[in-house]
Structure 1
Amino acid sequence: MRRPGPVRRRASAWESTEDALATLERVLDGPALLVLDELQSIDGTAAAGVVERLLLHQPVHLRVALGSRTVTSTALTRHLAGTATVLGAEDLRFRTWEVEELFRTCHGTRLRAEEVADLAHRTGGWAAGLELFHLATHGRPPSSRARLLGVGGGQLSSDYLARHVLDQVPVPLRDFLVRTAVLATLTAARCDELLGTTDSAALLEQAHRLGLLNAVADAESTVYCCHEVMRAHLLDVLVGRDGGARARELHQRGAQLALREGDFDAALRSSCRAHDWDAAQRVLAIGGGELAERPGSWIDELPASIRDTDPWVALALARRLVVDGALEQALEAYRLAGSRVETATGRALAAHELRMVQSWLNPPLGVVSDWVALTRDAFVAPRRQLAEPRPVDAARRLARAVAQLTSGDLASAAREFSAVSELPTLPSALEAVALLGEAASLSLSFRSEAAESRERAAVAAKMLGAPALERLADGLDLACRPETAREALTHLRDRCAAIGDRWGAALLGLFGALAGLPCGRLTADEHTGLAAELTELGAPALATWCTTMAAVEDARAGRRDEGATADVERAAAGVGPLPHTLALLAAGTAQGRVRATRLARTCGATTWTTLVLRGLRTTPSTAAAGTPVALEVRCIGGFTVLRDGVPVPLDALRPQHQALLRALALHAPLPVHRERLVEWFWEGRDPERAQHNLQVAISALRGLLDPATATPATSVLRRTGGGYALHLDAADRHDVRRVERNLAAGRAALERGDVENGRRSLAAGVRELTADLLPDDGPAEWVTAERDEVRGAVVHACQSLADLYASSGDGSAAIQVMRHALALDRYQDGSWRRLIDALTADGQPAAAATARREYAQVLAELDVPVPVTPVLAGPSPARARA
Structure 2
Amino acid sequence: MAQRIESAAAAGDGPPTVRRGVARRALLAVLDEVLDTGTGIVVGPRGSGKTTLMAQWVHESGLRALWARAGREGITLRAGGRARTTTPAELGGILRASSAPTLLVLDDVHELRGAAADEVEQLLLSAPPAVRVLMGTRREPSYTLARSEIGAPVVLTATDLRLRTWEVDRLFRDVYGHPLTSDDVETLTHETEGWAAAVHLFHRATDGLLPADRRRAVRTLRSDTRYASDYLVGEVLAELDRPLVDLLHRGSVFDELTAERCDALTAATPGGAPTPTAPLLRELERTWSLATTQDGVHFRLPRVLHRHLRAAQSERLGAAARAWQERAREVLGREAAPDDARRPADGTPSLAGGASGTPDAALADLLALVAPALRRDPAGHVERARQVGGAVGWFAEGLCLLLAGHQRGATGPLRRAAADPDASRALVLGASLAEAVLSGDRPVAVLRALDRVQVEADRHGHTWLARLAHGLIVGLDGTAAARVQSRAYAADRLADGDPWGSALVLTWSALAGLSIGAVEPQAWDELVGRWQALDAAVLAAWTRAAYALTAAAEQLPDAWQEARAAEAVARAAGSPGALAYAYAALARTGRDGSEELAALAESTGREAGVDMRPCWAVGLRRVRPAPVDPSPAPGPATAAVQPAPDDARPVLDRAPRLEVACLGEFRLVVDGTPADLSRIRPRARAVLHVLAVHAGRPVHREQLAETLWPDLDPRAALHNLHVSVSAVRRALEPRVPTRASRLLVRDGEAYALVLRPGSTCDVDELERAARTAAHRRVAGDLPAAAAALRQVLDLYTGDLLPEDGPAEWVAGPRSRLRLLVADAAADLAEVELAQGHLAAAVAAAGRSIELDECRDRAWRLLVAGCTAAGDAAAAHRATLGYREMLDTLGVPVAVAGAPDAVMSGPGARPPRPPRASAASRGRWS
TM-score (structure 2 length as normaliser)? 0.53
- 2:382 aligned with 1:386: yes
- C-alpha displacement at 1:389, in angstroms? 7.4
- C-alpha displacement at 1:74, in angstroms? 4.6
Whether the 8 Å contact between 1:8 and 1:28 is mirrored in structure 2 is no
- C-alpha displacement at 1:611, in angstroms? 3.5
Counterpart residue number, 1:473: 469
* Partner amino acid, structure 2, of 1:550: Y
- C-alpha displacement at 1:178, in angstroms? 0.4
Whether the 8 Å contact between 1:113 and 1:498 is mirrored in structure 2 is no
Counterpart residue number, 1:189: 260
- 2:166 aligned with 1:97: yes
* Partner amino acid, structure 1, of 2:436: A
Match of 1:223 among 267, 281, 298: 298
Counterpart residue number, 2:277: 200
Describe the SS at the equivalent of 1:500.
coil
- 2:178 aligned with 1:173: no
Whether the 8 Å contact between 1:552 and 1:586 is mirrored in structure 2 is yes
Matches within 5 A, 1:679-690: none
Describe the SS at the equivalent of 1:67.
strand
Whether the 8 Å contact between 1:410 and 1:605 is mirrored in structure 2 is yes
CA distance, structure 2, for counterparts of residue 206 and residue 235 of structure 1: 21
- 2:548 aligned with 1:551: yes
- Residues 355, 193 of structure 1: CA spacing in aligned structure 2 closer, same or farther, 3 A cutoff? closer
CA distance, structure 2, for counterparts of residue 103 and residue 190 of structure 1: 40
CA distance, structure 1, for counterparts of residue 206 and residue 601 of structure 2: 54
Matches within 5 A, 1:300-379: 321-323=352-354, 370-379=365-374
1:838-868 superposed Cα distances (whole Å, 9 cap, x missing partner): xxxxxxxxxxxxxxxxxxxxxxxxxxxxxxx
CA distance, structure 1, for counterparts of residue 582 and residue 126 of structure 2: 57
CA distance, structure 2, for counterparts of residue 467 and residue 130 of structure 1: 21
Counterpart residue number, 1:849: none
- C-alpha displacement at 1:556, in angstroms? 0.8
Matches within 5 A, 1:726-765: none
Whether the 8 Å contact between 2:354 and 2:426 is mirrored in structure 1 is no
- Residues 473, 61 of structure 1: CA spacing in aligned structure 2 closer, same or farther, 3 A cutoff? farther
CA distance, structure 2, for counterparts of residue 269 and residue 371 of structure 1: 28
Counterpart residue number, 2:316: 241
Describe the SS at the equivalent of 1:111.
coil
Counterpart residue number, 2:331: 257
CA distance, structure 1, for counterparts of residue 332 and residue 276 of structure 2: 20
- Residues 37, 693 of structure 1: CA spacing in aligned structure 2 closer, same or farther, 3 A cutoff? closer
CA distance, structure 1, for counterparts of residue 715 and residue 426 of structure 2: 54
Counterpart residue number, 1:568: 566
- C-alpha displacement at 1:83, in angstroms? 4.1
Describe the SS at the equivalent of 2:278.
helix
- Residues 59, 603 of structure 1: CA spacing in aligned structure 2 closer, same or farther, 3 A cutoff? farther
* Partner amino acid, structure 1, of 2:243: P
**Which one has a bigger Cα radius of gyration?**
2
Counterpart residue number, 2:109: 39
- 2:600 aligned with 1:595: yes
CA distance, structure 2, for counterparts of residue 168 and residue 689 of structure 1: 42
- Residues 66, 79 of structure 1: CA spacing in aligned structure 2 closer, same or farther, 3 A cutoff? farther
CA distance, structure 1, for counterparts of residue 123 and residue 499 of structure 2: 54
- Residues 575, 248 of structure 1: CA spacing in aligned structure 2 closer, same or farther, 3 A cutoff? farther
- C-alpha displacement at 1:410, in angstroms? 0.6
- C-alpha displacement at 1:60, in angstroms? 5.0
Matches within 5 A, 1:353-752: 370-381=365-376, 382-386=378-382, 388=384, 390-394=386-390, 395-443=392-440, 450=446, 453-458=449-454, 460-483=456-479, 485-521=482-518, 523-559=520-556, 561-573=559-571, 574-588=573-587, 589-602=594-607, 605-606=610-611, 609-616=612-619
Whether the 8 Å contact between 2:353 and 2:463 is mirrored in structure 1 is no
Counterpart residue number, 1:363: none
Higher helix share: 1
Describe the SS at the equivalent of 1:482.
coil
Counterpart residue number, 1:48: 117
- Residues 569, 58 of structure 1: CA spacing in aligned structure 2 closer, same or farther, 3 A cutoff? farther
CA distance, structure 2, for counterparts of residue 422 and residue 590 of structure 1: 44
CA distance, structure 1, for counterparts of residue 408 and residue 443 of structure 2: 10
Counterpart residue number, 2:190: 121
Whether the 8 Å contact between 1:100 and 1:491 is mirrored in structure 2 is no
- Residues 447, 80 of structure 1: CA spacing in aligned structure 2 closer, same or farther, 3 A cutoff? farther
Say how many residue pairs are matched: 546
Describe the SS at the equivalent of 1:470.
helix
- C-alpha displacement at 1:356, in angstroms? 9.2
Whether the 8 Å contact between 2:538 and 2:575 is mirrored in structure 1 is no
Whether the 8 Å contact between 2:95 and 2:127 is mirrored in structure 1 is no
Aligned Cα RMSD in Å? 4.2
Whether the 8 Å contact between 1:265 and 1:298 is mirrored in structure 2 is no
Identical aligned residues as a percent: 29
Describe the SS at the equivalent of 1:165.
helix
The structure whose RCO (Cα within 8 Å, separation 6+) is larger is 2
1:252-296 superposed Cα distances (whole Å, 9 cap, x missing partner): 2323333443656623768x68xxxxxxxxxxxxxxxxxxxxxx8
Describe the SS at the equivalent of 1:129.
helix
- C-alpha displacement at 1:515, in angstroms? 0.8
CA distance, structure 2, for counterparts of residue 98 and residue 8 of structure 1: 30
* Worse-superposed segment, 139-148 or 152-161: 139-148
Matches within 5 A, 1:1-16: 6-7=10-11
1:85-144 superposed Cα distances (whole Å, 9 cap, x missing partner): 222222111222211101111122222233322322222211101111222233343344
Counterpart residue number, 2:806: none
CA distance, structure 1, for counterparts of residue 444 and residue 606 of structure 2: 17
1:139-166 superposed Cα distances (whole Å, 9 cap, x missing partner): 3433442453344351232111111110
Structure 1 stretches lacking a partner, 5+ long:
274-295, 300-319, 325-329, 335-349, 361-369, 620-673, 675-686, 696-717, 722-882
Whether the 8 Å contact between 1:79 and 1:85 is mirrored in structure 2 is no
- C-alpha displacement at 1:601, in angstroms? 4.3
Counterpart residue number, 2:685: none
CA distance, structure 1, for counterparts of residue 342 and residue 713 of structure 2: 63
Describe the SS at the equivalent of 1:538.
coil
* Partner amino acid, structure 2, of 1:568: A
* Partner amino acid, structure 1, of 2:577: L
Whether the 8 Å contact between 2:89 and 2:120 is mirrored in structure 1 is no
